[in-house]
Structure 1
Amino acid sequence: MAKRDAQTGDKVTIKKYANRRLYNTSCSSYITLDDLAKMTREGTEFEVVDAKTGDDITHSILTQIIMDEEANGTQMLPVGFLRDLISMYGNSMQSMMPQYLEASMASFRENQAKIQEAFREGLGNNPIAKIHENNMAMMRAVGQAILPGSRSEDKAKGSSDSDEIAALRKQMEEMQKKLDEIGK
């Protein structure tokens, strides 16, 4: 959630003066574009207005921050993407691009949050572990197809989990032998 001015609960207002200086009205101090970039990363909601005209110039200031970041070696926007973006100006689809880009970024953040949550929960619950489980299930199915009846006989005998693991290992060894023979 975006942070707002602690005193008023409103967006933080930044005034840009003709001498290019930026003034943060909430803390009564001059700031830099780097400070605005930090505020953005922290989720602080702000608007930048021209001190003389009162026009909202937030968009151009945020674009300037991106240009500075890209120029300083932390390039994130691929050339192809930039070319595609430029080609959309004047295109009939231009009016749809802002909503599309916002929806894409929201989806990216949501997926990023899901991945981070999976890692926080531990390796047992992450997507890689689930892929491993699926692979093991496939290997069991292949083992049953190659050696029919071996697992069903074990279950009929009421074998324990360790017996099942041993049987799976044996099946895997036999499958590897057969694959090695086929490969010769």
Structure 2
Amino acid sequence: MAETEKPLLIKRYASRRLYNTETSDYVTLEDIASFIRDGREVQIVDLKSGDDLTRQYLLQIIAEHESRGENVLPVNVLNDLVRSYMVPGGGMMPQFLQSSFEMLRENQAKMMENMTAMNPMSKMPAFEAMQAQQAAFLKAMTGGMGNSWSGPAKDDDAEGDDSSENLEDIKKQLAELQNKLSRLK
């Protein structure tokens, strides 16, 4: 599992070129984004000083995607992030974001685990291949979000709306928490 692997070490040379230490070749920001989408953690360090530059490069990747019109972060969330930098110590925002993403990954994993356990097709010989294909599809649809997606997509049966309802509930809760955080400031 990607979570137990050590991070992929990328070294930045004085020329600002990025070097993948595993494959011994140069990489671009888009290559690094692809590693992350595939579930790999990365660590980017300056070769000369040894400084950890990971955060700086991850923010640059996000900024480039946002500038190309791939808007994932709503303006009000970006405003809240900027405000959080004005609060001494960063306020509650870093812990809130980390907890929110951990909760999302855990809920995705539980949902996929439950769907796999209750699926009568899991006894079929070709089920694992079909499951892998569906996992790849889900990963593509979610942009690699939450590497825990490992099961099949849910059938359109009577319970088919549960996952979308859960997602809507999570979105509502997130919006409520953002409003509360905004009011605290």
Change (3 A) 1:114 1:51: same
1:128 and 2:161 aligned: yes
TM-score, with normalisation over the residues of structure 2? Answer: 0.59
* Aligned length, in residue pairs: 125
How big is the shift at 1:126? 2.0
The 5 A counterparts of 1:25-174 are 25-92=21-88, 94-113=90-109, 120-124=153-157, 126-128=159-161
**In structure 2, the residue corresponding to 1:10 is in which secondary structure?**
coil
- Look up the match of 2:16: 20
How big is the shift at 1:128? 3.0
Paired AA for residue 52 in structure 1: K
Q: Structure 1: which 5+ residue stretches go unaligned?
A: 130-184
How big is the shift at 1:3? 5.8
Deviations 1:46-67 (A, max 9, x none): 2000111110110001000000
Task: Specify which structure has the bigger relative contact order, considering alpha-carbon pairs within 8 angstroms and separated by 6 or more residues.
Answer: 2
Deviations 1:101-149 (A, max 9, x none): 01111222334455666573423352538xxxxxxxxxxxxxxxxxxxx
Paired AA for residue 2 in structure 1: A
CA contact (8 A) 2:84 2:91 kept: no
CA distance, structure 2, for counterparts of residue 11 and residue 113 of structure 1: 22
CA distance, structure 2, for counterparts of residue 108 and residue 123 of structure 1: 22
- The percent identity for this pair of structures is 42
Paired AA for residue 52 in structure 2: D
Structure with higher Rg: it is 1
Q: What is the alpha-carbon root mean square deviation over aligned residues?
A: 2.5
**In structure 2, the residue corresponding to 1:23 is in which secondary structure?**
strand
User: Greater helix share, 1 or 2?
Assistant: 1
Deviations 1:145-174 (A, max 9, x none): xxxxxxxxxxxxxxxxxxxxxxxxxxxxxx
